[in-house]
Amino acid sequence: MPVADLKSYFAAATRLFRVPADNPDLMRAQFDAFSKQVPLLYFILISNTIAVAYTYVNVAPDWLTMIVPSLLTGLAGLRTYWWLRQRHIVRSDADILRNLRATNWLTLPVGAGFTAWSFALYPYGDPFAKSQVAFYMAVTVIGCIFSLMHLRSAALIVTLIVDVPYVLFFFATGEPTLKAIAVNNLLVSGAMVTVLFIYYRDFADLVASRKSLLAQQAATQALSDENFRLANLDSLTELPNRRRFFAELSSAFTDAERRNVRVAVGIIDLDGFKPINDNSGHSVGDRVLIEAGRRIREVCEGFGPQRVEIARLGGDEFGLVVCGDPEDADLMRLGERIGNQVRLPYQLDTAHTGLSCSIGFALFPDSATTSEALYECADYSLYHAKRHLRGRTVIFSSELEAEIRSRGVIENLLRSADFSTEMDLVFQPIVDAMSEHTAGFEVLARWHSSRLGLVSPADFIPAAERIGLIRPLTQALLARALATARTWPDHIRLSFNLSAHDVCTAEGILPLISIIEKSGLPPHRIDFEITETAVTFDFVRAQQSIATLKAMGCGVSLDDFGTGYSSLSHVHRLPLDKIKIDRSFVSDINDNPVSYKIIKSLTGLCDDMEIACVAEGVETRAQLDTLRRLGCDFIQGYYFAKPMPGPAVTGYLADETRRLGLHAEATSLVPA
Ligand code: C2E
Ligand code: CA
Ligand code: CA
């Protein structure tokens, strides 16, 4: 055999007697398992030793039967105590290796010591006692191999240090019984060592597989962490999403409740985003959302002393959770900073400005006692901001609470209202600006509630929209309005208001068509008024509905123009017949140069597009004169008449004919 081979065999053999240092996991497992078995090991050793010492007590010298066993027992006791203490100590890998190595080499003197002691006793015994020594050594070594299973090197050292001298010694006695015991012990020890190898290999495998299982678990955990992150992230803006927002809100709320401090919820809605999205395309819209989200996040991160969490709730809505006992003033300050950032220009393909945002806040514990109710309150504040204080911040207050309550009352009563008896129609003339002849009437709904009295359509129409009653209501009102209009002279038109819900769904518009067909009123005498907001709500649907109505021969007017997004492209892309300039511009046309300019440009626009222009809410002669000068085509307002009940229309028209007839006669008498 070559020397190199011999060397490698020798190295492999010595490795068997060493604690492996290259596998910390195995080492740790060995240490754990072994520390549990150690008491067992010493129990076997000590109890066997005492049994032998007892037998020899009267025949052998005291130092052999008393002193040495006591010393060995004391030592074993100390080691047991030391090992028992190890169970609760956290150790480093190096520490464990050092201890295992020490244990490994300790088996050498301990094994040698007990063996030497046994051989020293042997000569004093009678044949029985001599056999007991042979038995004692055999049983003890098997017990030790068993107890040292997890530390293979130590078990092998013990086997070797005991069994080799054992066999030599008892063979040297020449006693056939003892020789037989020695051979027997050798065979059993051999079998035990085989078991030891198998067991140790399985043990090492088990440790390795547990390690890979742990690694697998860690990988699975990492994967699920990533999934968790994605499930809580809005993919467009990379802000926390709606789900994350509500989780955050609920935990912040619980925390505030426990610590007895305030917490606030905010909802941000971008004003003017929809037209950008509709007109410039979704990719531009997406970029605006990303940028707006980034700016809001920046404000939140730089805000203090309160901590502000931001999330995208969907569409152009963002949510805020403000922790750290915020005051109203803090929320206003936060709202203002966000507003200022959102309003800054955006770098877009199309030069567009005019994005702003409305924010609604609600504070715990002032406004609500649950996180869900708090969110609802913030939502209502936002709704209020959008309707009345666009682009501003509104904090939920007791006034808003009263408003909500009355909204709830209106909704409930509306559900049980009988449209045919409680709903009424009134008619307001739309007058030709130059001739002052009535060209038509706008029909306006009135609700006489038995409980609430007269309710404004500005309140009950939105309520009907919210509770899903607007379509049956529109249908009932239209049928009655058409029936009334049939009694009018042929040249008098009817203007009827449609809600966003009528216009933006297919189910909304089709029933109206059959109602018109059944009414017998020629469609060309009807104008449908659609608000700018309804059009921006769902532009494509609105466009389809308008096309359907136009195809029938009906006219379409854009209502409340100037209050919505004022996106001129809408006007260009819709086949409109009239634009109605909102009352808010008309009311201060003579006092506010801005209103004057807006109306001037609107009348110019209508002229260019050959669309008729209607001014709403005209209350004074001065307003009428200015509007005429600016080229307004039609006038509506209290200056001519307030909305009147249906039966009053005939009398009103007759009066007008008389008045204008006289006026015409009077003017014709004036010499040219
Ligand atoms: P609108 O379509 O802009 O109707 C004009 C509103 O201005 C009416 O209020 C009218 O009474 C009022 N008004 C007219 N002239 C003057 C004036 O010179 N000065 C002032 N201060 N106000 C004037 P009303 O009847 O309370 O209706 C409010 C809103 O409710 C309407 O605004 C319309 O959007 C909605 N609405 C009314 N009836 C219906 C309906 O049958 N269906 C739908 N969908 N909405 C309706
Ligand atoms: Ca109207
Ligand atoms: Ca209007």
What is the domain-level CATH number for residue 473? 3.20.20.450
For ligand 1, is residue 562 a contact (CB within 6 Å)?
Answer: no
Both structure tokens of 238: 């990379």
Rounded Cα gap, residues 437 and 434, in angstroms: 8
Rounded Cα gap, residues 214 and 218, in angstroms: 6
Pair 357, 468 in one domain: no
Pair 34, 176 in one domain: yes
For ligand 1, is residue 617 a contact (CB within 6 Å)?
Answer: yes
Q: Which of 396, 427, 454 is the last residue of a domain?
A: 396
Q: Which residues contact 431 (CB under 8 A, 6 or more apart)?
A: 437, 438, 439, 634, 635, 636, 640
Q: Is residue 182 part of a domain?
A: yes
Q: Is residue 410 part of a domain?
A: no
Give the bridge partners for 309, in sequence order: 321
E strands, 451-546, are 453-455, 493-498, 526-531
How much is the average pLDDT of 623-638? Answer: 97
Is pTM, for the whole model, over 0.85?
Answer: no
Distance 360 CA to ligand 3 centre (A): 26
Rounded Cα gap, residues 343 and 356, in angstroms: 5
Pair 272, 159 in one domain: no
- pLDDT of 392 reads 94
Pair 534, 633 in one domain: yes
Give the bridge partners for 263, in sequence order: 364
Which of 601, 497, 602 has the alpha carbon at shortest distance from 559? Answer: 497
- Give the β-pairing of 356-364 and 423-432: unpaired
CA dist 242 to 220, 306, 398, 569, Å?
25, 21, 28, 33
Q: Which residues contact 341 (CB under 8 A, 6 or more apart)?
A: 295, 296, 298, 299
In the structure, ligand 3 is a single-atom ion and the residues with CB under 5 Å from it are 559-560, 616
Q: Is residue 409 part of a domain?
A: no
For ligand 1, is residue 558 a contact (CB within 6 Å)?
Answer: no
Q: Helix-strand-coil percent breakdown of the chain, rounded to 5?
A: 65, 15, 20
Which of 492, 488, 516 has the alpha carbon at shortest distance from 502? Answer: 516
Decide: 253 and 364 in contact? Cβ < 8 Å.
Answer: yes
Which ligand lies nearest the alpha carbon of 527?
A: 2
For ligand 1, is residue 266 a contact (CB within 6 Å)?
Answer: no
Q: Is residue 543 part of a domain?
A: yes
Pair 498, 645 in one domain: yes
How much is the average pLDDT of 596-622? Answer: 92
Residue 477 Cα: closest atom of ligand 1: 41
How much is the average pLDDT of 227-242? Answer: 88
Distance 587 CA to ligand 3 centre (A): 13
Catalytic residue among 234, 269, 316, 527: 316
Residue with tokens 């009398």: 651
422, 444, 616: which to mutate for ligand 1, most atoms within 8 A of CB?
444
Helices (H), 87-175: 93-121, 127-147, 152-173
3-state secondary structure of 521: coil
The segment with the largest mean pLDDT, out of 34-43, 226-235, 303-312, is 303-312
Judged against a pLDDT cut of 90, whether residue 16 lies above it is answered with no
Count of domains observed in the chain: 3
Q: Is residue 666 part of a domain?
A: no
CA dist 246 to 250, 255, 321, Å?
6, 14, 9
Which of 294, 293, 298, 291 has the alpha carbon at shortest distance from 347? Answer: 291
For ligand 1, is residue 495 a contact (CB within 6 Å)?
Answer: no
Pair 439, 390 in one domain: no
Judged against a pLDDT cut of 90, whether residue 37 lies above it is answered with no
Distance 50 CA to ligand 2 centre (A): 111
Cα of first residue to Cα of last residue in the chain, in angstroms, is 144
Pair 600, 640 in one domain: yes
Rounded Cα gap, residues 441 and 291, in angstroms: 47
Which ligand lies nearest the alpha carbon of 560?
A: 3
Q: Is residue 234 part of a domain?
A: no
Which of 343, 341, 340 has the alpha carbon at shortest distance from 356? Answer: 343
Q: What angle do CA 191, 146, 186 make, to 5 degrees?
A: 35
Pair 496, 531 in one domain: yes
- pLDDT of 284 reads 86
Give the bridge partners for 307, in sequence order: 323
* Average pLDDT value over all residues in the chain: 89
Pair 31, 157 in one domain: yes
Distance 584 CA to ligand 2 centre (A): 14
Rounded Cα gap, residues 486 and 379, in angstroms: 44
Q: Is residue 54 part of a domain?
A: yes
Which ligand lies nearest the alpha carbon of 581?
A: 3
Choose between 565 and 477: higher pLDDT: 477
Decide: 324 and 261 in contact? Cβ < 8 Å.
Answer: yes
The burial of 33, by beta-carbon neighbours within 10 Å (0-12 exposed, 13-18 middle, 19 or more buried), is given as middle
Distance 616 CA to ligand 3 centre (A): 6
Distance 334 CA to ligand 3 centre (A): 35
425, 426, 497: which to mutate for ligand 1, most atoms within 8 A of CB?
497
Which ligand lies nearest the alpha carbon of 617?
A: 1
Both structure tokens of 356: 């702003």
Active site residue 582: no
CATH number, domain containing residue 290? 3.30.70.270
Lowest-pLDDT range of 59-68, 325-334, 640-649: 59-68
Rounded Cα gap, residues 350 and 345, in angstroms: 12
Decide: 132 and 125 in contact? Cβ < 8 Å.
Answer: yes
Pair 105, 39 in one domain: yes
Residue 470 Cα: closest atom of ligand 1: 44
Maximum separation of any 2 CA atoms in the chain, in Å? 167
Q: Which residues contact 354 (CB under 8 A, 6 or more apart)?
A: 272
Residue 458 Cα: closest atom of ligand 1: 30
pLDDT in tens, 66-122: 998 898 888 888 888 888 887 777 778 888 888 888 888 888 898 898 899 999 999
For ligand 1, is residue 638 a contact (CB within 6 Å)?
Answer: yes
- pLDDT of 672 reads 41
Rounded Cα gap, residues 425 and 483, in angstroms: 11
3-state secondary structure of 324: coil
pLDDT in tens, 398-420: 998 888 888 889 999 999 999 99
**Which structural domain range is residue 270 located in?**
242-396
Residue 638 Cα: closest atom of ligand 1: 18
Rounded Cα gap, residues 333 and 320, in angstroms: 14
For ligand 1, is residue 623 a contact (CB within 6 Å)?
Answer: no
Q: Which of 337, 364, 396 is the last residue of a domain?
A: 396
How much is the average pLDDT of 566-577? Answer: 76
Pair 373, 429 in one domain: no
CA dist 212 to 209, 219, 222, 655, Å?
5, 10, 15, 98
Which ligand lies nearest the alpha carbon of 477?
A: 1
CA dist 180 to 129, 136, 162, 186, 224, Å?
16, 15, 17, 10, 65
Q: Is residue 584 part of a domain?
A: yes
Distance 515 CA to ligand 3 centre (A): 24
Distance 623 CA to ligand 2 centre (A): 19
Pair 282, 160 in one domain: no
- Rounded to 5 degrees, φ, ψ at 651 are -60, -40
Q: Whose CA is nearest to atom 10 of ligand 1?
A: 643
Q: Whose CA is nearest to atom 22 of ligand 1?
A: 617
